[in-house]
Amino acid sequence: MNKPHASGPTARPETDPPLIAVIATGGTIASQQNEDGSSSPHLGGQALLARLGALPPVRLKPVDLFAKDSSTLTLADMQAVSDSVGAELAAGAAGVVVLHGTDAMEETALLLSLQHPGAPVVLTGAQFTDDHPQADGPANMTAAIRAVLQGGGVRLAFGGRLLPAWGLVKHATDSADAFRLAVDAPPPALILTAPVGNVRVDVVAIHPGAEATHLDASLAAGAQGIVLAALGSGNASAAITSGVARAHGAGVPVVISSRVPMGRLAASYGGGGGGHDLVRAGAVLSTVLRPGQARVLLAALIAAGEADRAPDVFA
- What is the signed CA dihedral for 60, 63, 68, 72, rounded to 10 degrees? -100
Question: What φ, ψ does residue 267 adopt, rounded to 5°?
Answer: -85, 75
**Nearby residues of 173 by Cβ (< 8 Å), 6 or more positions away:** none
Burial 210-239 (b: 16+ CB within 10 A, else e): bebebbbebbeeebbbbbbbbbbbbbbbeb
Q: Helix (H, G, I), strand (E, B), or coil: what is residue 190?
A: coil
Q: Hey, how many other C-beta atoms are within 10 angstroms of the C-beta on 132?
A: 16
Query: Is 10 designated active site?
Result: no
- What is the signed CA dihedral for 82, 84, 90, 91, rounded to 10 degrees? -160
Q: Hey, how many other C-beta atoms are within 10 angstroms of the C-beta on 185?
A: 14
Residues 10, 15, 25, 28: which is the catalytic one? 28
* Residues annotated as catalytic (active site), given as ranges: 28
